[in-house]
Each structure stands twice: as structure tokens, then as C-alpha cells.
A and B are shown apart, each in its own frame.
Chain A
Amino acid sequence: MVGLEHYLILAAVLFAIGLYGALAKRNAIIILMSIELMLNAVNIAMVAFSRYIVPLQLTGQIFAIFVMVVAAAEVAVGLAIIIAIYRHHKTIDATKIDLMKW
């Protein structure tokens, strides 16, 4: 019987995969995709809590909807920044983008 723990472990596994991708990758678009993976993992955890702990209140699903709104805004601005950086520097290698380093 699948229960709350199964969903939480699935969310933790997806979050860890996204964390590894965000820390270890050089391509800025892959880093953004890994961040999306982490947001999805958090959403799974919140919907699972909503389903198993308070099945009649749905607050977890509401939070998941707001996370999706913020994720959509984040992806739009993030990809715009990546394209702007690509225009100036001809690369999106995150290890070579050091504009704010002194």
C-alpha cells in the first residue's frame, strides 16, 4: 500500500537529483532545468501532505499553484537573462560568467 512516505521519498529523490544538477553543471540552461526539477519535487511533497494529513482543506494544493506561478515567472526572467548574457559573451558556461566577481 502506497502511503505518505512513498511520495515524500520520491520528492526527496527528485530534489536531490535537481540539487546535484544545479551544483555540478556548467550549462546555465541545464542549471535552470534542475531548479525546475527541485520546484516540482517540492510541489509533490506539498500535494502529498495535503492529501494525507488534511484531505479536506487543500492548502497544500493552493501552495503548489502559487509555486507554479513563481516558477513560471522565474523561468521567463531566467531564460531572458541567459539569452542576454549569450548575446554579450557568446557563452552560457556558468563557470565563465564572472561579471559580478571582483
Chain B
Amino acid sequence: MGLDVAFWILAVVGVTAALAVVLLGDVFRAALSLVLCFLAVAGIYLTLNADFLAVVQILVYVGAISVLIILAIMLTREVQRGSPSNRLRIPALFVAALFLVVVIYALLNTNWQISSVPPLEPTTPAIAGLLFGEGGFILPVEIAPILLLAAIIGAIVLVREK
């Protein structure tokens, strides 16, 4: 089935790109593989029938956040020093592997109540109804711009020349 093939290709690409982010020595190449990982995650959203979220992922992550990260890499001139590990490399590897094993064990031994209802096909109207409609998530929607405004002002204050 096409969806399964798409999932496996996107999963392999995404995990490989994520590994490249933490294993590559070159910071700039790590940032570029992070962009590839974001694109693979957008494809994963498409296989989950989340079309609106896939577009938002490409706009926000691939379009904006990756540009910010690459800009910060260029402004800090840390590219020559590469991306070394600290003294905690082995314990960190152990903690991450332990976390992975525990989570996979837990989720394989849980009896998920999977619904057989087919998913909504265009999700955009339903998401708009939930975000702005009666009894929806209108309060978080109102709080989110305050958070973004605070983040913008904070970023400007932090990087301003004294």
C-alpha cells in the first residue's frame, strides 16, 4: 500500500537526518540535515491525514526556524570549532537508550483503543471551528499572540547593542 511505503521512506529519512544532526561534526551541515528532518516530519503529518499541520510545519519550521538557526550559526562564527561532545557523552547515550527502551516497552504493552472511524479528509475547516468556534480553544488562541509578542520584545532587548 502506498501510504505504508511513504511512511517507511519518510521514517528512514527523518531518523537518518536526526542522527546526522547530533553526529555530524560540521554545525552548518547539522542545520541543513535538521531542515531535511523537518521536511520528513511534514511528510509524516501528510500520511496521518493532517494536511493543515503539514503546511504549517513547512511554513514555520522549514521556512522560519531553520533560517533563524542558520543566521545564528553565521553570527556566532563557531563553525570552525565544529560540534564536539562534552564529558557526558557515554552517560547521555545510556540515558537516551534507556529512555527509548522503556518508552517502546510501555507503548507496545499498552492496549490502545484504536478507532475504526475514517479520519476527516480536509482538516482545515474543522481546526478553524475548534480554534475560533464556540466552546473551542479561543482562550489559548488569544494567549498565543501575547506569548509571541513577549518573545519578539525579549529577543530585541537581548540582542540590542548597549
Q: How many residues of B contact A (CB 8 A)?
A: 88
Measured CA separation A92–B73 after assembly (Å) = 10
Complex CA–CA separation, A15 to B148 (angstroms): 25
Chain A 42-97 residues near chain B, CB threshold 8 A: 43-44, 47-48, 50-56, 58-59, 61-62, 64-66, 68-77, 79-84, 86, 91-95
0/1 interface trace, chain B 143-162, chain A, CB 8 Å (1 if under): 01001101110111011000
Are B96 and A68 neighbours in the complex by a CB distance under 8 Å?
no
Q: Are A47 and B48 in contact (CB under 8 A)?
A: yes
Name the prevailing secondary structure of the B interface residues: helix
Using A25-B85, A71-B65 as known contacts, say yes or no to A19 and B95 having CB atoms under 8 A apart: yes
The total of interchain contacts (Cβ-Cβ below 8 angstroms) comes to: 239
User: Which residues of chain A are near B127, meaning CB under 8 Å?
Assistant: 58, 61-62, 65
- Complex CA–CA separation, A2 to B103 (angstroms): 19
Query: Given contacts A27-B78, A32-B69, is CB(A21)–CB(B107) below 8 Å?
Result: no
Option from A24, A48, A84 in Cβ contact (under 8 Å) with B158: A84
Provide the bound-state CA to CA distance between A79 and B83, in Å. Answer: 17
Other A-B pairs beyond A19-B99, A52-B112, 13, CB < 8 Å: A2-B47, A9-B104, A12-B103, A16-B100, A20-B93, A24-B85, A27-B78, A52-B114, A53-B114, A55-B118, A58-B130, A66-B137, A69-B148
Residues of chain A whose beta carbon lies under 8 Å from any beta carbon of chain B: 1-10, 12-21, 23-27, 29-30, 32-34, 36-37, 40, 43-44, 47-48, 50-56, 58-59, 61-62, 64-66, 68-77, 79-84, 86, 91-95
A sample of 15 inter-chain contacts (CB < 8 A) reads: A6-B7, A15-B103, A16-B97, A16-B99, A20-B22, A21-B21, A25-B22, A27-B27, A29-B69, A30-B21, A48-B48, A52-B112, A56-B117, A72-B64, A83-B159
B interface residues (Cβ-Cβ under 8 A, vs A): 1, 3-4, 7-8, 11, 14-15, 18-19, 21-22, 27, 30-31, 34, 37-38, 41, 44-45, 47-50, 52-53, 56-57, 60-61, 64-65, 68-69, 71-73, 75-76, 78, 81-89, 91-93, 95-97, 99-100, 103-104, 107-108, 112-115, 117-120, 123, 126-127, 130-131, 137, 140, 144, 147-148, 150-152, 154-156, 158-159
